[in-house]
Structure 1
Amino acid sequence: MAKKSGGGGCLVLVLVVGLLAFGYYKWQHGSSSAPPEGVDTGGGSGRYVALGDSYTSSPRTGRQAGTPAGCDRSDDNYPHLVAAKLKPAQFADVSCSGATTANLTGSQKTGNGTNPPQLDAVTAETTLVTVGIGGNDVGFFSYASGCATTDQNASPCRDRLTAGGRDQLAERIDATAPKIGAVLDRIHEQAPKAKVVVVGYPTVLPEGAGCWPSLPFGAGDIEYFRGALGKLNKMLEDQADTHRAGYADTATPGKGHDVCSASDKRWVEGLLPASPAAPLHPNARGEQGMADAVLAVLKLP
């Protein structure tokens, strides 16, 4: 009986260790499981580094934060809101408008100063990294700038970008995937103690045909770009899942807060912003929504 009891104890120990390992694996692979123990950011400890593009830097929503001024980084963007909640010992927001994955490892020239490689801020002491990047690699905004039409049933961008049986946006999303994976691997190498959270893009376009002429894109282009944004977020989530990172879904809570929603509801402004923000970018309300999504992944209220 003593032997049997000892074997049972070993089995329990194996199960407990296995469950703990599974919980760690699930966190690192993008679920909302509790973060691994032994890594603390907040309450006056740890180092939080925020990497990203203009959806992270949040141009025009608040006061200028940090340098260079050309990064259009606001003091009420989601990294600042997350940091205010966590209260880490150190906080570095190095996000920059116009950034691509190349600007995480290489410097970025702006209209007013040069931003050093964003990954330079990620040190061995870093305990939390959020990264919101990829949209500029795909080129959404450069493509969208030529989509305005006087015919609400037209789809000039979809027709051009899918001509000849190719889907150029889908191809660019696929090409960006390994770049995101490489960035996440690099973060883990530089900051082996850090929790890493990939932050997705919020809902920009509504279901249905849109709100022409307030947003002067035809129904076909609205559908096309909405689908492409969904593919981009799915790619980001998949890369987080396979490269030991959490994923903050900002699109789901952002539904109903798109550019066509009421001005007091929307998270993302239209071509003519009604609240301080860059066109087709999150306003302060949207940045708060994104911060809430990150805090939810970190299991904080």
Structure 2
Amino acid sequence: MRARWSITVAVLAVLTMLASAFSADAATPHYSRYVALGDSYTAGPLIPLQRLDPLGCFRSTANYPAQLALRLLTPSYTDVSCSGADTGDMTATQTVTLGSNPPQLNALHADTDLVTIGIGGNDGAVFGTIVGTCPGLRASDPAGNPCQRHFTVDGVDTIKAEITQTQANITAVLAQIHARAPRAKVLAIGYPRIAPPTGTCPAVLPFADGDYAWLNSVEEALNTAIAKAAAADGATSYVDTFTPSLGHDACAGPAAWINGQSIQPTAAPYHPNLRGMTGLARIAYAALS
């Protein structure tokens, strides 16, 4: 009983900290049934405390949807985000370690009145391909842009070409969200900045110096695809997290919202940490306020 009480106190302390992290002077919008959809940048792998439904989704109880739901005081909150998800997993079961995650859109109902979705980075394996390839190419040309050259074939940036299809995929998903939850306010959440606009930190973000600018341009292309999908949909609001995360990239030290290459007890490599999730929740809340 004493151990259980200690855990309860610790959880309450974390929730109190998260709630106090928001400004209280803005009028709080009212939503009754909030559903969060997305990939690992929504789920929050390794950020305590991790949920077990299923464990393989690496879904945190302190990710930005959880913090947003806490700030909004929504009576009903459902988070079905899952690490590794792409747009196809919105309508198909996603197999993960020790289980599976049902189609994420199954969580939507006619009375859902708020939906956030952060998806697209895994379409075409874009994110995994970049972080799995670029660090290994740095040694071949530390001051150059070996990763950009690697993915440029006959003058075509194959990574950015893949993102063109991602835009169409997201547009199709947004249409299905409205069909299942016609009353819902829908926010398409962009991806925060990983690399700084100038300078490098190879010990943290082990890309070649010239590939930092290319990484930023890929993120900008992905966020543009999400924004264009939201605009084409006409009933979805795009939430820019890239611009307001300036100064919070992986190289920003204690101010970083994004973890670098190392596995941390509280953040997966190249993914948002708890500070980043709080920042993303603030941005989403501001978009609703």
Q: TM-score, normalised by structure 2?
A: 0.85
2:41 to 55, 70, 74: 55
Who is 2:245 aligned against?
A: 254
| Cα deviations by residue, 1:215-257 (Å, 9 ceiling, x for unpaired) | 2211222111110101111111121122111121111111111
- Is the contact between residue 46 and residue 265 of structure 2 (CA under 8 Å) also seen in structure 1? no
Question: Which has more radius of gyration?
Answer: 1
Cα shift at 1:76? 0.3
Letter matched to residue 145 of structure 1: G
Please state if 1:122 is matched with 2:108. yes
CA distance in 1, matches of 2:201, 2:84: 27
Partner of 2:150: 160
Counterparts of 2:94 and 2:274, CA distance in 1 = 25
Q: Which amino acid aligns with 2:157?
A: D
Give the superposition deviation at 1:115.
0.1
CA deviation string 1:176-212 (max 9, x = no partner): 1111001100000001100000000001111124222
Match of 2:11 in 1: none
Instruction: Find out whether 1:171 has 2:171 as its counterpart.
Output: no
Structure 2 unaligned spans of 5+? 1-28
2:130 is matched by which residue type in structure 1? Y
Q: Identify which of 268, 271, 274 aligns with 1:278.
A: 268
Identity of aligned residues (%): 42
User: Is the Cα contact below 8 Å between 1:62 and 1:75 reproduced in 2?
Assistant: yes
Counterparts of 1:240 and 1:131 in 2: how far apart (Å)? Answer: 11
Q: Structure 1 274/108 Cα, relative in aligned 2: closer, same or farther at 3 Å? A: closer
- State the match for 1:238 in structure 2: 228
How far apart in 1 are the matches of 2:187 and 2:37? 10
Post-superposition Cα deviations, 1:91-145, rounded to whole Å, max 9, x if no partner, equal 1100000000000000000012100000000111100000000000041222221
- The alignment partner of 1:217 has SS state of coil
Q: Size of the alignment, in residue pairs?
A: 256
Matching residue of 2:72: 86
Equivalent residues of 1:209, 1:220 under 8 A apart: no
Correspondence list, 1:1-301, <5 A: 41-42=30-31, 46-138=32-124, 139-148=126-135, 149-150=138-139, 151-243=141-233, 244-262=235-253, 264-273=254-263, 276-299=266-289
Q: Check conservation: 2:56, 2:96, Cα contact below 8 A.
A: yes
Question: Which of structure 1's runs of 4+ aligned residues deviate more than 6 A?
Answer: none
Aligned mates of 2:169, 2:205 — CA distance in 1: 32
Does the 8 Å CA contact 1:63/1:74 hold for their aligned counterparts? Answer: yes
By how many angstroms is 1:48 displaced?
0.4
Distance 1:183 1:265 in 2: 34
